[in-house]
């Protein structure tokens, strides 16, 4: 009898183990099919094909059941987590030292997989949620519980609705049988909802780009050209804020009117108040035109295309105008978006102005014509696509392009208060180098130096400050080079004084002082602010 019981227990354990392994395989396969289906539905065609090839799963043989998809599963988990802990779960987190966390993340992933697949988890009993249940000292309890000495995972929620008991209000009133539908759930409900969402909100909202496979006119040729343009989409945050730009208030106001406010207050920008579609920033080099574009990429939350001549000029016949067309199609596809054309005079100089006596090249004329046609299309549509251009030589631009750039604003040399603010920014009273470096201090008369730097651009002032800061550093080079090993060397940098800056002024000249009159004359003739 004991042998029979022993045999039956062994056989039962073996059957249970096989069933557990089969359920694990089915769960993994279902997860892959859910991911594949989601990739296809969202237009990530190439990613879906790569995953299908790697996993050897053909979606033509399987399909996801009705009322089930990856987004629904995630929403159900979020609602379950919110019901239990009164806050939404954090699904992802950013990694900081990449190399260190990568190995840890891979190891944790394998350990989580092994722990999930090691045994068949028993379903724990979930008690009714209360204001105190599910949290200890203001923090949620662990999602894993222990039953019969084994770690188990919490009960998965239903794929339809959750019928729950919960306690709300200070009087402890209990409401029974409340059905929370997935699509009817209020994301702002609950006492901790706003704080939980706020903790997850990044400093700058990073937009998730749409997959190219979702474009209506998708083809192999369009894909190749789109991949060329996609390399110029800003994927990293330049981290330049509006407050980081000293002065240029008029330019910042116009850029906000064209890009920020139409997205924030769309009901105000209709009819005659439709937003500007093109803005030209012109002025001497080094005055902050490109810095304004970086602030747009940081602050505005739009898809930012950083385009230069190398992006849309091709040696192959017909490719340049195709690239221009694809650029604007992608901008509409990823709207709201901003196209930044730096050094515009290299792309849109006056037609027929080619040198060498041979006139302008045919390919260049076709590209300019296509760019003008696409700009016309922007002005006649309500799509949130904005073109921001910068030029150091506005008098060389084609007049048809100037007409399409509705706002033309001079980004001039900084005023005396702006120069004083720049000097104080670059050379504050306490300048600290790296943590293991030497401390550098400054004792300057900022207003006096600002008067002496008339005609200097922002870049010129930064170069001046760098040259002045090198003065005290140069004094210790000899001591460092002649220092004998084994002896202590105590080095201290001298304070940067106004005399050091005046000495640097003798060797650092402004780069565009002589062009100021020409810019102001062009502004009087073509200004549009």
- Residue 288 annotated as lining a ligand binding site: yes
CA–CA distances in Å: residue 228 to residues 108, 211, 221, 323: 37, 15, 11, 8
- Residue 149 annotated as lining a ligand binding site: no
- Residue 154 annotated as lining a ligand binding site: no
- Residue 284 annotated as lining a ligand binding site: yes
Structure tokens at 423: 């000097």
218: left (phi over 0), alpha (psi -120 to 50) or beta: beta
Q: Are 230 and 330 a contacting pair, CB within 8 Å?
A: yes
Q: In what order do the strands lie in the sheet with 430-432?
A: 430-432, 439-443, 496-497
Structure tokens at 446: 């900022």
Q: 136 has which bridge partners?
A: 139
Report how far residue 305's alpha carbon sits from residue 355's, in angstroms, rounded to the nearest whole number. Answer: 30
Cβ neighbour number for residue 291 with a 10 Å cutoff: 19
Report how far residue 225's alpha carbon sits from residue 322's, in angstroms, rounded to the nearest whole number. Answer: 8
- Residue 214 annotated as lining a ligand binding site: no
Q: Phi and psi for 70 in degrees, rounded to 5?
A: -65, -40
Tell me the residue ranges of DSSP E strands in 366-481: 385-391, 407-410, 430-432, 439-443
Report how far residue 293's alpha carbon sits from residue 296's, in angstroms, rounded to the nearest whole number. Answer: 5
408: CB partners within 8 A, 6+ apart: 279, 280, 282, 394, 402, 526, 527, 528, 529
Q: Is the dihedral of CA 155, 159, 164, 170 positive or negative?
A: positive
Q: Which of 356, 364, 359, 254 has its CA nearest to residue 314?
A: 364
- Residue 518 annotated as lining a ligand binding site: no
Cβ neighbour number for residue 341 with a 10 Å cutoff: 27
Instruction: Return the SS3 of 139.
Output: strand
Structure tokens at 38: 């989601």
CA–CA distances in Å: residue 101 to residues 93, 97, 114, 380: 12, 6, 20, 50
- Residue 283 annotated as lining a ligand binding site: yes
417: CB partners within 8 A, 6+ apart: 450
Tell me the residue ranges of DSSP E strands in 28-96: none
Binding site feature residues: 283-290
Binding site feature residues for ATP: 283-290
């Amino acid at each position: 009898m004991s042998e029979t019981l022993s045999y039956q227990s062994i056989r039962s354990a073996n059957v249970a183990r096989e069933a557990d392994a089969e359920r694990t395989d089915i769960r993994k396969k279902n997860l892959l099919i859910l991911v594949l289906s989601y990739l296809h539905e969202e237009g990530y065609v190439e990613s879906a094909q790569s995953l299908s090839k790697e996993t050897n799963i053909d979606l033509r043989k399987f399909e996801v059941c009705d009322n089930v998809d990856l987004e629904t599963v995630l929403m159900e988990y979020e609602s379950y987590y919110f019901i239990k802990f009164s806050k939404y779960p954090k699904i992802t987190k950013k990694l900081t030292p990449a190399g260190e966390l990568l190995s840890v993340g891979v190891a944790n992933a394998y350990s989580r997989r092994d722990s999930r697949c090691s045994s068949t988890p028993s379903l724990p009993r979930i008690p009714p949620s209360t204001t105190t249940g599910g949290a200890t000292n203001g923090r949620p309890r662990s999602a894993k519980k222990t039953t019969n000495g084994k770690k188990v995972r919490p009960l998965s929620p239903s794929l339809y609705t959750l019928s729950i008991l919960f306690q709300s209000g200070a009087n402890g009133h209990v409401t029974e049988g409340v059905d929370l539908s997935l699509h009817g759930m209020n994301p702002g409900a609950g006492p901790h909802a706003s704080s939980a969402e706020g903790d997850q909100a990044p400093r700058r909202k990073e937009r998730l780009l749409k997959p190219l496979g979702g474009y209506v006119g998708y083809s192999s040729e369009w894909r190749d050209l789109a991949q060329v343009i996609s390399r110029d989409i800003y994927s990293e945050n330049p981290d330049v804020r509006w407050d980081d730009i000293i002065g240029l208030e008029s330019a910042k106001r116009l850029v906000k009117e064209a890009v920020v406010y139409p997205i924030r207050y769309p009901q105000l920008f209709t009819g005659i108040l439709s937003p500007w579609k093109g803005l030209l920033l012109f002025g001497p080099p080094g005055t902050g035109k490109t810095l304004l574009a970086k602030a747009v990429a940081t602050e505005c939350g739009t898809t930012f295309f950083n385009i230069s001549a190398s992006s849309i000029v091709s040696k192959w016949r017909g490719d340049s105008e195709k690239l221009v067309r694809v650029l604007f199609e992608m901008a509409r596809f990823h709207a709201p978006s901003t196209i930044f054309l730096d050094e515009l005079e290299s792309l849109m100089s006056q037609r027929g102005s080619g040198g060498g006596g041979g006139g302008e090249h045919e390919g260049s004329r076709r590209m300019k014509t296509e760019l003008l046609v696409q700009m016309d299309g922007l002005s006649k549509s309500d799509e949130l696509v904005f073109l921001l251009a910068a030029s150091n030589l506005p008098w060389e631009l084609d007049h048809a392009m100037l007409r399409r750039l509705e706002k033309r604003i001079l980004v001039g040399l900084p005023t005396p208060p702006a120069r004083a603010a720049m000097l104080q920014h670059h050379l504050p009273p306490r300048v600290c180098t790296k943590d293991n470096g030497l401390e550098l201090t400054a004792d300057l008369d900022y207003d006096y130096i600002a008067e002496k730097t008339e005609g200097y651009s922002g870049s010129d002032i930064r170069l001046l400050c760098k040259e002045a800061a090198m003065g005290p550093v140069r004094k210790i080079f000899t001591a460092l080079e002649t220092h004998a090993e084994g002896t202590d060397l105590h080095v201290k940098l001298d304070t940067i004084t106004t005399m050091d800056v005046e000495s640097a002024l003798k060797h650092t000249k402004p780069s565009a002082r002589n062009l100021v009159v020409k810019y102001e004359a062009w502004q009087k003739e073509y200004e549009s602010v």
